[in-house]
Chain A
Amino acid sequence: MRILALEGALHAAVAETSDAASSDSSGFFGWLFGSDGFHAPSISEFYPDALAFAGTIFEFNRIELVRVIAAFFMILIFWLVARSAKIVPGRGQAVVEMVLDFVRVQIVEEVMGKERAKRFVPFLTTLFIAIVFFNMTGVIPFLNIAGTSLIGLPIIMALWVYVMYLSVGIKKHGLGGYLKANLFPPGVPKPIYLLLTPIEFLQVFILRPATLALRLAANMIAGHLLLVLCFAATQYFFFEATGALKAAGVVSLAAGFGFTLFEIFVALLQAYVFVMLSSVYLNMALEEEH
């Protein structure tokens, strides 16, 4: 752990405090309950030790295992439902159909209109469901980390959207037409383009995909750190702290459960926002010139 000590306004000193990991580790319970001071969670949470193939580019760690599990259950659920799909849906099928309907009606058709939405509903529904599943692993006990909390997966999803909206835009307007519509929006005085064109360029080609990926990953990182902080503090208060501080553990435990519920909400909200923005970007690419 690195502690940056700020003394006065100018003098900063970096002190490296290495906390010795020497609890009286008597078996499993010693490991579980023994502790040497409070460990605040850090970004290293997201770089766990490799489970297999350490050192190679195929390195496989806990987060990747969680992703595989999430993908497996996603495919399993949809396979089970699709295998026995009926015209009059059963209970399981009704739930899945509700989700599919939500994406189609509430997000895609709302943004694009019925006619244009048809092409993109399968793509955006896939995105929505994948993001929900990968986000949800963050609050499932024993998995406890969101598959999307490492930037790689969000980058792939954002690149998918990026390539998609660029290609449909170029296909519809032609390369020149697309660039003209996006970089030189009509209806402003000529000199303004000096300012506007670079901003629009950054917008379309860099900021949109970058923020799609960053938003999802940053939300999941922040959520995981919050949960770790709450439960690590609970462990510390109950087993380490003395006297009245022990009572604070009750508060942090309650906060931990509260934030778990909040994380479920955030997981769904981020999937909604991601798909919403994706369909907005697709719609912008397809829009007629005004």
Chain B
Amino acid sequence: MDTTTLAEVSGNVATIGYGLAAIGPGIGLGILIGKTIEGMARQPEVAGQLRTTMFIGVAFVEVLALLGLITGFLFT
């Protein structure tokens, strides 16, 4: 029996690569910023400190998404 192709994908896999790469950082940023807002709501007086710490964390998480963007251009 011949194998029949039921579905075929054509095009560059890099097209969806960034979408995949953005999932993790997206979830990460959501948790990170959500938790910071939670903290700010509980203790508004430390909002400034929390925001600063959040941005340090955001910098870490965002790097992953940026690497995803860059690799898309590097490996095509």
Question: Residues on A close to B: CB < 8 A?
Answer: 2-8, 43, 110-111, 207, 211, 214-215, 218, 221-222, 273, 276-277, 280
B23 at the A interface (CB under 8 A): no
A4–B17 Cα gap in the complex (Å)? 13
B76 touches A211 (CB 8 A): no
A211 touches B59 (CB 8 A): yes
A43–B69 Cα gap in the complex (Å)? 11
A276–B5 Cα gap in the complex (Å)? 53
A111 touches B52 (CB 8 A): yes
Which residues from B are CB-within-8-Å of A280?
Answer: 52, 55-56
A222–B59 Cα gap in the complex (Å)? 17
Contacts A3-B11, A6-B10, A7-B8; A276 near B66 (Cβ below 8 A): no
B5 touches A211 (CB 8 A): no
Min C-beta distance of A77 to chain B, whole Å: 28
A211 touches B10 (CB 8 A): no
Contacts A6-B9, A111-B52, A280-B52; A43 near B70 (Cβ below 8 A): no
B55 touches A214 (CB 8 A): no
Q: Is the interface of A mostly helix, strand, loop or mixed?
A: helix
Q: Which of B13-54 contact A (CB under 8 A)?
A: 13-14, 48, 51-52
Min C-beta distance of A172 to chain B, whole Å: 20
Contacts A2-B76, A43-B73; A277 near B12 (Cβ below 8 A): no
Min C-beta distance of B55 to chain A, whole Å: 5
Min C-beta distance of B63 to chain A, whole Å: 5
A207 touches B63 (CB 8 A): yes
Min C-beta distance of B1 to chain A, whole Å: 17
A277 touches B10 (CB 8 A): no
A280–B50 Cα gap in the complex (Å)? 12
Which residues from B are CB-within-8-Å of A218?
Answer: 66, 69-70
A100–B69 Cα gap in the complex (Å)? 33
Min C-beta distance of A115 to chain B, whole Å: 16
Contacts A211-B59, A218-B66; A7 near B10 (Cβ below 8 A): yes
B10 touches A5 (CB 8 A): yes
A4 touches B11 (CB 8 A): yes
Contact of A3 among B12, B69, B70 (CB under 8 A): B12
A6–B9 Cα gap in the complex (Å)? 6
Q: Which of B53-76 contact A (CB under 8 A)?
A: 55-56, 58-59, 62-63, 66, 69-70, 73, 76
Most buried by A among B55, B59, B70: B59
Min C-beta distance of A264 to chain B, whole Å: 20
A280–B48 Cα gap in the complex (Å)? 12
A211 touches B63 (CB 8 A): yes
A-B contact list, 11 entries, CB within 8 Å: A3-B10, A4-B11, A5-B10, A211-B63, A214-B70, A215-B59, A218-B66, A273-B59, A276-B55, A277-B56, A280-B55
